[in-house]
Amino acid sequence: MIVPAEPESLARLAEIHATIDRAARDAGRDPASVKLVCVSKTFPAEAITPILAAGERLFGENRVQEAMEKWPALRAAYPGVELHLIGPLQSNKAREAVGFFDCIETVDREKIARAIAEEIQKSGRHPRLYIQVNTGAEPQKAGVLPQEADRFITQCRKDYGLTISGLMCIPPVDDQASPHFALLNKLAERNGLADLSMGMSADYELAIQLGATHVRIGSALFGHR
């Protein structure tokens, strides 16, 4: 069941920003180098509006369809919204995703790279693109395997003419997250990628220590899903 919006989320938002700032400073980083992606999946517009009214403009959704139902009205009411797709993308949804999102964080296989490249050509829209890396090599999880990441990034660039801006990962739930974050950082660095989307409600401080530029926070902000 979805819990409706409560002003509580505003207190939580302030706390999250304070934590981000502290974690960045502790790591010797500029707090402005860490962006909060508010993960609003499953939450209705009423829960999202107070967060928009508080000034947040960066949001993450994991389903194309859900985002396309919820966000047109919210975007019209609050200019400057930037929407990230953080869930798996099917190639038959590539057109909608390229047309609707400002950043697709889940590019992870050749078929998707090709479909996205085609839609970029047709539409002239250029969403930012991140490669999702399956750092834990979990069979059920999306993402390119770490040992194939370099080759896939090169393939996206050379064969499909895509501009890749960053990497994203979701560490295995039962693992220590730090080796996964460190690995993603290393892969980004050696491929010249500036954006590192890693860290969720439970581990975003650690992710900031290890170089995250985008932390994706859902439940710590909006409450339980």
Ligand X SMILES: *Cc1c(COP(=O)(O)O)cnc(C)c1O
Residues within the interface to ligand X (CB under 6 A): 39, 41, 62, 86-87, 170, 200-202, 216-220
Which two three-digit tokens encode residue 164? 């890749």
Name residues whose C-beta falls within 8 Å of residue 73's C-beta, 6 or more positions apart in sequence: 45
Q: How far is the CB of 76 from ligand X (least distance, A)?
A: 25
Min CB(61)–ligand X separation in Å:
9
Looking at the Cβ atoms of 20 and 160, the one nearer to ligand X is: 20
Looking only at the bridges linking them, the beta strands covering 82-85 and 103-107 are parallel
Nearer to ligand X, 143 or 146 (CB): 143
Nearer to ligand X, 130 or 160 (CB): 130
The rounded distance, in Å, linking the Cα atoms of 96 and 119 is 9
The least CB distance from residue 74 to ligand X, in Å, is 18
Min separation Cβ 41 and ligand X, Å: 6
| Residue recorded with tokens 């974690």 | 23
Residue 87 to residue 222: CA distance in whole angstroms: 18
Sign of CA dihedral 9, 13, 14, 16: positive
Which C-beta is closer to ligand X: that of 59 or that of 160? 59
Q: State how far the Cα of 95 lies from the Cα of 214, in Å rounded to an integer.
A: 25
Q: Which is nearer to ligand X, 45 or 157 (CB)?
A: 45
The conformation of residue 3, written as its DSSP 8-state character, comes to P
Nearest to residue 133, comparing CAs of 90, 185, 190?
Answer: 185
Cα 184 from chain centre: 14
For residue 121, the minimal CB distance to ligand X (Å) is: 27
CA distance 120 to 141: 26
Question: Minimum Å distance from CB 72 to ligand X?
Answer: 22
Toward ligand X, which CB reaches closer, 145 or 202?
A: 202
